A and B are shown apart, each in its own frame.
Chain A
Protein backbone atom coordinates (compact mmCIF):
# COMPACT_ATOMS: atom_id res chain seq x y z
CA UNK A 1 0.00 0.00 0.00
CA UNK A 2 1.53 3.26 -1.03
CA UNK A 3 1.81 6.24 1.27
CA UNK A 4 -1.09 8.61 0.52
CA UNK A 5 1.14 11.58 -0.06
CA UNK A 6 4.76 11.78 -1.14
CA UNK A 7 6.22 12.71 2.19
CA UNK A 8 9.33 14.76 1.79
CA UNK A 9 12.51 12.99 2.85
CA UNK A 10 11.05 9.53 3.17
CA UNK A 11 11.86 7.70 0.02
CA UNK A 12 10.76 4.14 0.64
CA UNK A 13 7.28 3.41 2.06
CA UNK A 14 7.03 0.63 4.58
CA UNK A 15 10.64 -0.07 4.06
CA UNK A 16 11.41 2.78 6.45
CA UNK A 17 12.88 0.88 9.41
CA UNK A 18 11.47 3.27 12.01
CA UNK A 19 7.95 2.90 10.72
CA UNK A 20 8.25 -0.85 10.25
CA UNK A 21 9.24 -1.11 13.90
CA UNK A 22 5.93 0.47 14.85
CA UNK A 23 3.83 -2.25 13.25
CA UNK A 24 3.55 -4.52 16.33
CA UNK A 25 2.43 -1.78 18.67
CA UNK A 26 -0.06 -0.35 16.17
CA UNK A 27 -1.42 -3.82 15.57
CA UNK A 28 -1.82 -4.38 19.30
CA UNK A 29 -3.68 -1.09 19.80
CA UNK A 30 -6.03 -1.67 16.92
CA UNK A 31 -6.65 -5.32 17.75
CA UNK A 32 -7.55 -4.38 21.33
CA UNK A 33 -10.35 -2.20 20.01
CA UNK A 34 -11.51 -3.93 16.85
CA UNK A 35 -12.34 -7.64 17.06
CA UNK A 36 -12.75 -8.29 13.34
CA UNK A 37 -9.25 -9.18 11.99
CA UNK A 38 -9.90 -7.98 8.43
CA UNK A 39 -11.11 -4.59 9.63
CA UNK A 40 -8.21 -4.43 12.06
CA UNK A 41 -5.76 -5.06 9.22
CA UNK A 42 -7.25 -2.22 7.21
CA UNK A 43 -6.99 0.13 10.13
CA UNK A 44 -3.37 -0.85 10.81
CA UNK A 45 -2.52 -0.14 7.19
CA UNK A 46 -4.27 3.21 7.31
CA UNK A 47 -2.49 4.16 10.52
CA UNK A 48 0.89 3.30 9.06
CA UNK A 49 0.11 5.22 5.91
CA UNK A 50 -0.75 8.30 7.95
CA UNK A 51 2.39 7.96 10.06
CA UNK A 52 4.48 7.59 6.92
CA UNK A 53 2.89 10.65 5.45
CA UNK A 54 3.82 12.64 8.50
CA UNK A 55 7.21 11.14 9.19
CA UNK A 56 9.09 14.13 7.85
CA UNK A 57 7.35 16.44 10.29
CA UNK A 58 7.86 14.34 13.40
CA UNK A 59 10.86 14.48 15.63
CA UNK A 60 12.64 11.13 15.73
CA UNK A 61 11.81 10.19 19.32
CA UNK A 62 8.15 11.10 18.90
CA UNK A 63 7.33 8.60 16.18
CA UNK A 64 5.96 5.95 18.50
CA UNK A 65 3.61 8.23 20.52
CA UNK A 66 2.46 9.75 17.24
CA UNK A 67 1.66 6.31 15.85
CA UNK A 68 -0.26 5.36 19.00
CA UNK A 69 -2.39 8.50 18.87
CA UNK A 70 -2.97 8.06 15.15
CA UNK A 71 -4.08 4.46 15.65
CA UNK A 72 -6.59 5.52 18.27
CA UNK A 73 -7.89 8.30 16.05
CA UNK A 74 -8.31 6.00 13.09
CA UNK A 75 -10.32 3.57 15.20
CA UNK A 76 -12.38 6.37 16.68
CA UNK A 77 -13.20 7.86 13.32
CA UNK A 78 -14.33 4.46 12.11
CA UNK A 79 -16.62 4.24 15.14
CA UNK A 80 -17.90 7.69 14.39
CA UNK A 81 -18.68 6.74 10.83
CA UNK A 82 -20.43 3.60 11.96
CA UNK A 83 -22.35 5.53 14.55
CA UNK A 84 -23.38 8.14 12.05
CA UNK A 85 -24.51 5.43 9.70
CA UNK A 86 -26.47 3.75 12.45
CA UNK A 87 -28.10 7.00 13.46
CA UNK A 88 -29.03 7.77 9.90
CA UNK A 89 -30.37 4.34 9.31
CA UNK A 90 -33.80 5.31 10.63
CA UNK A 91 -34.14 7.64 7.68
CA UNK A 92 -34.49 4.59 5.51
CA UNK A 93 -37.59 3.79 7.53
CA UNK A 94 -38.72 7.31 8.05
CA UNK A 95 -41.71 7.29 10.36
CA UNK A 96 -42.37 10.97 10.17
CA UNK A 97 -43.25 13.61 7.67
CA UNK A 98 -40.05 15.44 6.84
CA UNK A 99 -38.96 18.64 8.53
CA UNK A 100 -40.68 17.88 11.78
CA UNK A 101 -39.42 19.77 14.83
CA UNK A 102 -38.49 16.69 16.81
CA UNK A 103 -35.33 16.01 14.83
CA UNK A 104 -33.45 16.10 18.11
CA UNK A 105 -35.35 13.31 19.79
CA UNK A 106 -35.14 10.99 16.82
CA UNK A 107 -31.44 11.69 16.42
CA UNK A 108 -31.07 10.02 19.81
CA UNK A 109 -33.21 7.21 18.61
CA UNK A 110 -32.56 4.02 20.34
CA UNK A 111 -33.24 0.84 18.49
CA UNK A 112 -34.21 -1.03 21.61
CA UNK A 113 -36.83 1.55 22.45
CA UNK A 114 -38.15 1.44 18.92
CA UNK A 115 -38.34 -2.34 18.95
CA UNK A 116 -40.11 -2.24 22.30
CA UNK A 117 -42.49 0.44 21.04
CA UNK A 118 -43.30 -1.63 17.96
CA UNK A 119 -44.19 -4.63 20.11
CA UNK A 120 -46.72 -2.50 21.99
CA UNK A 121 -48.72 -1.88 18.84
CA UNK A 122 -51.39 -4.34 17.91
CA UNK A 123 -50.49 -7.00 15.37
CA UNK A 124 -52.66 -5.34 12.72
CA UNK A 125 -51.27 -1.86 13.36
CA UNK A 126 -47.72 -3.12 13.21
CA UNK A 127 -48.26 -5.11 10.03
CA UNK A 128 -49.90 -2.23 8.23
CA UNK A 129 -47.30 0.28 9.36
CA UNK A 130 -44.37 -1.91 8.35
CA UNK A 131 -45.95 -2.81 5.03
CA UNK A 132 -46.34 0.87 4.27
CA UNK A 133 -43.11 2.29 5.69
CA UNK A 134 -40.66 -0.53 5.10
CA UNK A 135 -42.01 -2.37 2.09
CA UNK A 136 -43.37 0.80 0.56
CA UNK A 137 -46.81 -0.60 -0.09
CA UNK A 138 -49.17 2.24 -0.92
CA UNK A 139 -52.34 2.99 1.00
CA UNK A 140 -54.58 2.00 -1.86
CA UNK A 141 -53.33 -1.56 -2.12
CA UNK A 142 -53.28 -1.82 1.68
CA UNK A 143 -56.88 -0.67 1.71
CA UNK A 144 -57.79 -3.35 -0.81
CA UNK A 145 -56.19 -6.03 1.38
CA UNK A 146 -57.83 -4.77 4.55
CA UNK A 147 -61.22 -4.21 2.95
CA UNK A 148 -61.04 -0.51 3.73
CA UNK A 149 -60.47 2.77 1.89
CA UNK A 150 -57.17 4.51 1.20
CA UNK A 151 -58.22 7.49 3.31
CA UNK A 152 -59.13 5.32 6.27
CA UNK A 153 -55.83 3.45 6.00
CA UNK A 154 -53.91 6.74 5.89
CA UNK A 155 -55.78 8.00 8.94
CA UNK A 156 -55.10 4.76 10.74
CA UNK A 157 -51.41 4.98 9.82
CA UNK A 158 -51.31 8.48 11.28
CA UNK A 159 -52.84 7.25 14.51
CA UNK A 160 -50.40 4.36 14.61
CA UNK A 161 -47.46 6.71 14.11
CA UNK A 162 -48.77 8.94 16.89
CA UNK A 163 -48.99 5.96 19.22
CA UNK A 164 -45.61 4.67 18.14
CA UNK A 165 -43.97 8.00 18.99
CA UNK A 166 -45.52 7.91 22.46
CA UNK A 167 -44.61 4.29 23.09
CA UNK A 168 -41.12 4.96 21.81
CA UNK A 169 -40.62 7.80 24.30
CA UNK A 170 -42.03 5.71 27.14
CA UNK A 171 -39.78 2.80 26.21
CA UNK A 172 -36.79 5.09 25.87
CA UNK A 173 -37.33 6.44 29.37
CA UNK A 174 -38.34 3.01 30.70
CA UNK A 175 -41.35 4.47 32.46
CA UNK A 176 -44.98 3.50 32.76
CA UNK A 177 -47.33 6.51 32.91
CA UNK A 178 -48.65 7.14 36.44
CA UNK A 179 -52.28 7.73 35.52
CA UNK A 180 -54.80 6.37 33.07
CA UNK A 181 -55.10 9.78 31.46
CA UNK A 182 -51.44 10.01 30.45
CA UNK A 183 -51.52 7.81 27.35
CA UNK A 184 -54.63 9.37 25.78
CA UNK A 185 -53.23 12.86 26.40
CA UNK A 186 -49.81 12.03 24.99
CA UNK A 187 -51.28 10.31 21.96
CA UNK A 188 -53.59 13.26 21.28
CA UNK A 189 -50.60 15.60 21.44
CA UNK A 190 -48.46 13.30 19.35
CA UNK A 191 -51.16 13.11 16.69
CA UNK A 192 -51.57 16.88 16.69
CA UNK A 193 -55.31 16.33 17.08
CA UNK A 194 -56.72 19.49 18.68
CA UNK A 195 -60.26 18.19 19.06
CA UNK A 196 -59.05 15.09 20.81
CA UNK A 197 -56.71 17.18 22.98
CA UNK A 198 -59.67 19.21 24.16
CA UNK A 199 -61.70 16.07 24.82
CA UNK A 200 -59.03 14.69 27.10
CA UNK A 201 -58.30 18.16 28.52
CA UNK A 202 -54.63 17.88 27.60
CA UNK A 203 -53.62 21.39 28.71
CA UNK A 204 -54.72 20.80 32.30
CA UNK A 205 -53.24 17.36 32.45
CA UNK A 206 -49.84 18.70 31.37
CA UNK A 207 -49.89 21.11 34.29
CA UNK A 208 -50.67 18.30 36.71
CA UNK A 209 -48.50 15.50 35.39
CA UNK A 210 -44.79 15.98 35.51
CA UNK A 211 -44.02 12.99 33.32
CA UNK A 212 -46.40 14.07 30.56
CA UNK A 213 -45.18 17.66 30.73
CA UNK A 214 -41.70 16.36 30.04
CA UNK A 215 -42.59 13.72 27.47
CA UNK A 216 -44.91 16.05 25.58
CA UNK A 217 -42.12 18.52 24.82
CA UNK A 218 -40.77 16.68 21.77
CA UNK A 219 -44.29 15.78 20.69
CA UNK A 220 -45.54 19.35 20.73
CA UNK A 221 -46.05 21.21 17.54
CA UNK A 222 -46.13 18.00 15.57
CA UNK A 223 -49.55 18.61 14.16
CA UNK A 224 -49.58 19.60 10.54
CA UNK A 225 -49.76 23.31 10.01
CA UNK A 226 -53.38 24.16 9.61
CA UNK A 227 -54.82 27.39 8.44
CA UNK A 228 -57.24 27.58 11.37
CA UNK A 229 -54.53 27.74 13.96
CA UNK A 230 -51.37 29.70 14.48
CA UNK A 231 -48.61 29.23 16.99
CA UNK A 232 -46.36 32.00 18.17
CA UNK A 233 -43.37 31.25 20.37
CA UNK A 234 -42.95 33.89 23.03
CA UNK A 235 -39.64 34.98 24.46
CA UNK A 236 -39.23 38.70 24.05
CA UNK A 237 -41.22 41.93 23.88
CA UNK A 238 -41.48 41.79 20.13
CA UNK A 239 -43.21 38.41 20.36
CA UNK A 240 -46.02 40.13 22.24
CA UNK A 241 -46.64 42.30 19.19
CA UNK A 242 -46.34 39.30 16.89
CA UNK A 243 -48.86 37.34 18.97
CA UNK A 244 -51.45 40.10 19.13
CA UNK A 245 -51.11 40.79 15.42
CA UNK A 246 -51.46 37.10 14.59
CA UNK A 247 -54.63 36.95 16.69
CA UNK A 248 -56.01 40.11 15.10
CA UNK A 249 -55.33 38.83 11.60
CA UNK A 250 -56.92 35.46 12.30
CA UNK A 251 -59.96 37.11 13.88
CA UNK A 252 -60.30 39.53 10.97
CA UNK A 253 -60.51 36.53 8.66
CA UNK A 254 -63.73 35.36 10.27
CA UNK A 255 -65.44 38.73 10.31
CA UNK A 256 -65.00 40.22 13.75
CA UNK A 257 -65.73 43.97 13.87
CA UNK A 258 -62.86 46.47 14.13
CA UNK A 259 -63.67 47.10 17.79
CA UNK A 260 -63.72 43.40 18.56
CA UNK A 261 -60.40 42.99 16.73
CA UNK A 262 -58.86 45.66 18.94
CA UNK A 263 -60.33 44.03 22.03
CA UNK A 264 -58.87 40.68 21.06
CA UNK A 265 -55.47 42.17 20.24
CA UNK A 266 -55.44 44.09 23.50
CA UNK A 267 -56.39 41.05 25.58
CA UNK A 268 -53.65 39.02 23.87
CA UNK A 269 -51.19 41.81 24.52
CA UNK A 270 -51.99 41.84 28.24
CA UNK A 271 -51.84 38.10 28.68
CA UNK A 272 -48.72 37.51 26.59
CA UNK A 273 -46.88 40.35 28.29
CA UNK A 274 -47.14 38.31 31.49
CA UNK A 275 -45.27 35.45 29.82
CA UNK A 276 -42.39 37.72 28.84
CA UNK A 277 -42.33 39.34 32.23
CA UNK A 278 -42.69 36.39 34.55
CA UNK A 279 -41.70 33.31 32.59
CA UNK A 280 -38.72 32.85 30.34
CA UNK A 281 -40.63 31.39 27.49
CA UNK A 282 -44.03 30.30 26.42
CA UNK A 283 -46.28 29.79 23.48
CA UNK A 284 -49.46 31.31 22.19
CA UNK A 285 -51.89 29.22 20.20
CA UNK A 286 -54.56 31.00 18.21
CA UNK A 287 -57.42 28.78 17.04
CA UNK A 288 -60.49 29.57 15.02
CA UNK A 289 -63.62 27.81 16.21
CA UNK A 290 -66.77 26.76 14.42
CA UNK A 291 -68.91 25.39 17.24
CA UNK A 292 -71.28 26.37 18.62
CA UNK A 293 -70.61 29.65 16.83
CA UNK A 294 -67.69 31.09 14.98
CA UNK A 295 -65.11 32.36 17.37
CA UNK A 296 -61.48 32.62 18.30
CA UNK A 297 -59.68 30.93 21.14
CA UNK A 298 -56.31 32.02 22.43
CA UNK A 299 -54.26 29.73 24.62
CA UNK A 300 -51.20 31.25 26.24
CA UNK A 301 -49.00 28.74 28.00
CA UNK A 302 -45.75 29.23 29.82
CA UNK A 303 -43.51 27.14 32.01
CA UNK A 304 -42.70 29.94 34.37
CA UNK A 305 -42.95 30.23 38.15
CA UNK A 306 -46.73 30.21 38.17
CA UNK A 307 -49.04 32.65 39.92
CA UNK A 308 -49.10 32.39 43.69
CA UNK A 309 -52.61 33.74 44.19
CA UNK A 310 -54.79 33.52 41.12
CA UNK A 311 -57.79 35.31 42.66
CA UNK A 312 -55.53 38.14 43.68
CA UNK A 313 -53.99 38.36 40.19
CA UNK A 314 -57.43 38.63 38.63
CA UNK A 315 -58.43 41.52 40.87
CA UNK A 316 -58.36 45.03 39.45
CA UNK A 317 -55.40 47.04 40.56
CA UNK A 318 -53.22 44.10 41.47
CA UNK A 319 -49.79 44.53 39.99
CA UNK A 320 -46.40 43.13 40.77
CA UNK A 321 -44.45 45.29 38.36
CA UNK A 322 -45.87 48.77 38.72
CA UNK A 323 -48.27 48.26 35.85
CA UNK A 324 -51.77 49.54 36.14
CA UNK A 325 -52.85 46.22 37.52
CA UNK A 326 -55.36 45.83 34.75
CA UNK A 327 -53.60 43.19 32.69
CA UNK A 328 -55.35 39.93 33.53
CA UNK A 329 -58.65 41.37 34.84
CA UNK A 330 -58.77 43.67 31.83
CA UNK A 331 -58.20 40.80 29.41
CA UNK A 332 -60.97 38.90 31.14
CA UNK A 333 -63.36 41.81 30.61
CA UNK A 334 -62.49 42.05 26.92
CA UNK A 335 -63.13 38.39 26.13
CA UNK A 336 -66.26 36.27 26.44
CA UNK A 337 -64.62 33.38 28.24
CA UNK A 338 -61.53 33.42 30.34
CA UNK A 339 -59.90 30.59 32.28
CA UNK A 340 -56.62 30.59 34.08
CA UNK A 341 -54.78 27.60 35.49
CA UNK A 342 -51.55 28.05 37.30
CA UNK A 343 -49.34 25.89 39.39
CA UNK A 344 -46.41 27.19 41.35
CA UNK A 345 -43.13 26.20 39.83
CA UNK A 346 -44.78 24.66 36.81
CA UNK A 347 -46.37 27.38 34.78
CA UNK A 348 -49.51 29.17 33.83
CA UNK A 349 -52.07 28.60 31.12
CA UNK A 350 -54.62 31.18 30.10
CA UNK A 351 -57.39 30.13 27.73
CA UNK A 352 -59.69 32.85 26.47
CA UNK A 353 -62.38 32.83 23.85
CA UNK A 354 -64.40 35.40 22.01
CA UNK A 355 -67.48 34.49 19.97
CA UNK A 356 -68.90 36.22 16.96
CA UNK A 357 -72.09 38.09 17.77
CA UNK A 358 -74.02 36.64 14.85
CA UNK A 359 -73.69 33.29 13.09
Chain B
Protein backbone atom coordinates (compact mmCIF):
# COMPACT_ATOMS: atom_id res chain seq x y z
CA UNK B 1 0.00 0.00 0.00
CA UNK B 2 1.43 3.30 -0.91
CA UNK B 3 -0.38 6.48 -0.12
CA UNK B 4 -3.45 7.64 1.75
CA UNK B 5 -6.36 7.07 1.78
CA UNK B 6 -5.95 3.38 2.46
CA UNK B 7 -7.75 1.22 -0.05
CA UNK B 8 -7.93 -1.78 2.22
CA UNK B 9 -6.74 -2.89 5.62
CA UNK B 10 -5.59 -6.24 6.91
CA UNK B 11 -5.96 -6.64 10.68
CA UNK B 12 -5.03 -9.55 12.85
CA UNK B 13 -7.50 -11.02 15.30
CA UNK B 14 -6.15 -14.07 17.11
CA UNK B 15 -5.32 -16.63 14.48
CA UNK B 16 -7.47 -14.89 11.89
CA UNK B 17 -6.86 -12.06 9.49
CA UNK B 18 -9.63 -9.62 8.76
CA UNK B 19 -9.15 -8.04 5.35
CA UNK B 20 -11.50 -5.16 4.67
CA UNK B 21 -11.75 -3.47 1.32
CA UNK B 22 -12.64 0.17 1.89
CA UNK B 23 -13.55 1.36 -1.57
CA UNK B 24 -14.01 0.36 -5.19
CA UNK B 25 -10.75 -1.17 -6.35
CA UNK B 26 -9.48 -1.32 -9.89
CA UNK B 27 -7.82 -4.42 -11.28
CA UNK B 28 -4.26 -3.53 -10.33
CA UNK B 29 -5.32 -2.52 -6.83
CA UNK B 30 -7.05 -5.88 -6.49
CA UNK B 31 -3.81 -7.57 -7.45
CA UNK B 32 -1.96 -5.58 -4.78
CA UNK B 33 -4.62 -6.63 -2.29
CA UNK B 34 -4.16 -10.27 -3.29
CA UNK B 35 -0.38 -10.08 -2.98
CA UNK B 36 -0.43 -8.31 0.39
CA UNK B 37 -3.01 -10.65 1.85
CA UNK B 38 -1.32 -13.87 0.79
CA UNK B 39 1.95 -12.51 2.11
CA UNK B 40 0.38 -11.61 5.46
CA UNK B 41 -1.09 -15.11 5.85
CA UNK B 42 2.44 -16.50 6.00
CA UNK B 43 3.88 -13.72 8.10
CA UNK B 44 1.12 -13.80 10.73
CA UNK B 45 0.73 -17.59 10.56
CA UNK B 46 -2.98 -17.05 10.10
CA UNK B 47 -5.28 -20.05 9.91
CA UNK B 48 -8.37 -18.19 8.83
CA UNK B 49 -9.08 -15.16 6.61
CA UNK B 50 -12.24 -13.09 6.46
CA UNK B 51 -12.49 -10.86 3.41
CA UNK B 52 -15.06 -8.09 3.74
CA UNK B 53 -16.16 -6.94 0.29
CA UNK B 54 -19.12 -4.82 1.37
CA UNK B 55 -17.48 -1.67 0.02
CA UNK B 56 -16.80 -3.08 -3.44
CA UNK B 57 -19.22 -1.49 -5.88
CA UNK B 58 -19.22 -4.47 -8.21
CA UNK B 59 -18.01 -8.01 -8.21
CA UNK B 60 -17.36 -8.50 -11.88
CA UNK B 61 -15.58 -11.38 -13.53
CA UNK B 62 -12.13 -10.13 -12.61
CA UNK B 63 -12.92 -9.39 -8.97
CA UNK B 64 -14.64 -12.75 -8.59
CA UNK B 65 -11.72 -14.59 -10.09
CA UNK B 66 -9.28 -12.69 -7.85
CA UNK B 67 -11.27 -13.61 -4.73
CA UNK B 68 -11.36 -17.24 -5.84
CA UNK B 69 -7.61 -17.15 -6.43
CA UNK B 70 -6.99 -15.62 -3.01
CA UNK B 71 -9.05 -18.32 -1.33
CA UNK B 72 -7.18 -21.02 -3.20
CA UNK B 73 -3.78 -19.51 -2.40
CA UNK B 74 -4.80 -19.14 1.24
CA UNK B 75 -5.88 -22.78 1.31
CA UNK B 76 -2.52 -23.81 -0.10
CA UNK B 77 -0.91 -21.78 2.68
CA UNK B 78 -3.00 -23.52 5.29
CA UNK B 79 -5.69 -20.92 5.92
CA UNK B 80 -9.44 -21.08 5.41
CA UNK B 81 -11.18 -18.14 3.73
CA UNK B 82 -14.64 -16.73 4.22
CA UNK B 83 -15.95 -13.91 2.06
CA UNK B 84 -18.45 -11.66 3.80
CA UNK B 85 -20.50 -8.60 2.95
CA UNK B 86 -21.67 -9.37 -0.57
CA UNK B 87 -24.52 -6.92 -1.02
CA UNK B 88 -27.90 -8.18 -2.21
CA UNK B 89 -27.76 -6.34 -5.53
CA UNK B 90 -24.21 -7.52 -6.09
CA UNK B 91 -25.30 -11.09 -5.42
CA UNK B 92 -28.20 -10.68 -7.82
CA UNK B 93 -25.91 -9.34 -10.52
CA UNK B 94 -23.32 -12.07 -10.03
CA UNK B 95 -25.97 -14.72 -10.55
CA UNK B 96 -27.31 -13.03 -13.68
CA UNK B 97 -23.78 -12.64 -14.96
CA UNK B 98 -23.14 -16.33 -14.38
CA UNK B 99 -20.43 -15.80 -11.78
CA UNK B 100 -19.93 -17.98 -8.77
CA UNK B 101 -17.35 -18.09 -6.05
CA UNK B 102 -16.94 -21.82 -6.41
CA UNK B 103 -16.00 -23.66 -3.28
CA UNK B 104 -15.20 -20.49 -1.34
CA UNK B 105 -17.21 -20.09 1.88
CA UNK B 106 -19.34 -17.02 2.31
CA UNK B 107 -21.13 -15.48 5.23
CA UNK B 108 -23.49 -12.58 5.65
CA UNK B 109 -21.23 -10.27 7.63
CA UNK B 110 -18.04 -10.12 9.65
CA UNK B 111 -19.58 -11.59 12.77
CA UNK B 112 -21.01 -14.56 10.89
CA UNK B 113 -17.74 -14.96 9.03
CA UNK B 114 -15.71 -15.18 12.23
CA UNK B 115 -18.23 -17.64 13.63
CA UNK B 116 -17.83 -19.84 10.53
CA UNK B 117 -14.05 -19.71 10.89
CA UNK B 118 -14.26 -20.35 14.66
CA UNK B 119 -16.25 -23.50 14.05
CA UNK B 120 -13.86 -24.56 11.31
CA UNK B 121 -10.68 -23.88 13.29
CA UNK B 122 -12.02 -25.74 16.30
CA UNK B 123 -12.36 -28.78 14.03
CA UNK B 124 -9.60 -31.25 13.29
CA UNK B 125 -7.86 -30.18 10.07
CA UNK B 126 -7.25 -26.94 8.25
CA UNK B 127 -6.20 -28.26 4.89
CA UNK B 128 -9.68 -29.50 3.98
CA UNK B 129 -12.57 -27.32 2.99
Contact = CB atoms under 8 A, between A and B. Distances in A.
Interface of A: 236-238, 240-241, 244-245, 248, 257-259, 261-263, 265-266, 269-270, 273, 276, 316, 323-327, 329-330, 333-334
B29 A248 contact: no
Interface in B16-39: 24-29
Contact of B65 (A238, A257, A262, A324): A324
Interface of B: 24-29, 57-62, 64-65, 87-90, 92-93, 96-99
B61 A270 contact: yes
A259 B89 contact: yes
Given A245-B24, A262-B92, A262-B93, A330 B57 contact: no
A298 to B, nearest CB: 14
Contact of A258 (B25, B60, B89, B98): B89
SS class, residues of chain A in contact with chain B: helix
Q: Which of A262, A263, A276 has the most CB of B within 10 A?
A: A262
B61 A326 contact: yes
A326 B58 contact: no
B27 to A, nearest CB: 5
Contacts of B88: 259
A244 to B, nearest CB: 6
A326 B98 contact: yes
A263 to B, nearest CB: 5
A171 to B, nearest CB: 44
Given A326-B99, A330-B99, A334-B93, A269 B58 contact: yes
Contacts of A265: 57-58
B29 A237 contact: yes
B90 A262 contact: yes
Q: Which of B26, B90, B92 has the most CB of A within 10 A?
A: B26
A240 B26 contact: yes
A237 B28 contact: yes
Given A237-B29, A245-B57, 12 more contacts: A237-B26, A240-B26, A258-B89, A259-B92, A261-B89, A266-B60, A269-B58, A330-B61, A330-B97, A330-B99, A334-B93, A334-B96
Contacts of B26: 236-238, 240-241
Nearest to A328: B61
B64 to A, nearest CB: 7
B93 A324 contact: no
Nearest to B65: A324
A324 B64 contact: yes
Q: Which of B25, B58, B89, B98 has the most CB of A within 10 A?
A: B58
Q: Which 10 A-B pairs have the closest CB atoms?
A: A237-B26, A330-B97, A259-B89, A262-B89, A269-B60, A324-B61, A266-B58, A237-B27, A326-B61, A258-B89
A327 B99 CA distance: 10
A257 B64 CA distance: 23
Contacts of B65: 323-324
Given A259-B92, A259-B93, A330-B98, A248 B64 contact: no
20 contacts: A236-B26, A238-B26, A241-B24, A244-B58, A245-B24, A245-B57, A258-B89, A262-B89, A262-B92, A263-B93, A263-B96, A265-B57, A266-B59, A269-B60, A316-B98, A324-B64, A330-B60, A330-B61, A330-B98, A334-B93
